[in-house]
Amino acid sequence: MLKQLKNIDTAFKHIRLFSFVLIIANILLSAYVVFACLSALQMDRKQVYVLANGKLLEATGINRKDNIQVELKDHVKTFHHDFFTLDPDDVVIQQNISRALYLADGSARQQYDNLKESGYYAGIISGNISQRIQTDSIIVDMGELPYTFRYYGKLKIVRPTTEVIRSIVTEGRLRETSRSDHNPHGFLIERWKIVENKDLKVIQRNH
């Protein structure tokens, strides 16, 4: 009888140990399943589908921090392109300047107002002048917010009889804002100023 009771007690201990191991295994398996599901969901969120020319293309989303310097430089480049690309057409000038002013604060508006009051844009139209900007380099200090930048480029000013190449250097800082159709990168240029704008060479045009 005593031996039978010992066997029952041993069997009970084995069953209890087996149940404990089974519970732990179930907990670990459940944790793994939850982790795998969350990881898959996170990966799905990074998948972006773009409709281009009637075709559905898959793109991969990345963390903004991984690409922020590229976005900052492209924001600065886009602003300068829109601000300094001019043709002898008041509508074109207004369209370009309007796009540029969405990317900067009142400091850019002040520069525009100063140029307008000085008759710069009127001279572009009356003189049949076209102006294009070429980016040489953009330096962004990523050390602290707001980010500071310095832009180096060249202006090509085409007049009926001459082409003038000018150096253009500007500086300012960038702060983060909400993304929008007018400001896709979600940055705003602040305290923007032109620190250099001088002639490098003048080329006579052949008639």
pLDDT tens digits, 109-161: 999 999 999 999 999 999 999 999 999 999 999 888 889 999 999 999 999 99
Do the domain assignments include residue 168? yes
Question: What is the tally of structural domains in the chain?
Answer: 2
Cα distances (angstroms) measured from residue 31 to each of 17, 28, 34, 38, 57: 21, 5, 5, 11, 34
Residues 39 and 103 grouped into a single domain: no
Range of the domain at 101: 64-204
Report how far Cα 178 is from the mean position of its chain's Cα atoms. 11
Tens digit of each residue's pLDDT (9 = 90 or more) over 189-201: 999 999 999 999 9
How far apart CA 83 and CA 107 sit, in angstroms, is 13
Residues 95 and 10 grouped into a single domain: no
Cα distances (angstroms) measured from residue 52 to each of 56, 119, 134, 185: 7, 43, 29, 20
Helix (H) or strand (E) holding 15: helix 2-45
Do the domain assignments include residue 72? yes
Tell me which DSSP letter residue 204 carries: E
Helices 106-117 & 90-101 angle (0-180, nearest 10)? 160
Q: How far does the chain reach from its first CA to its final CA, in angstroms?
A: 123
Residues 22 and 104 grouped into a single domain: no
CATH number, domain at 136?
Answer: 3.10.450.230
Tens digit of each residue's pLDDT (9 = 90 or more) over 3-28: 554 566 666 666 777 777 778 877 88
Q: Whole-model pTM above 0.75?
A: no
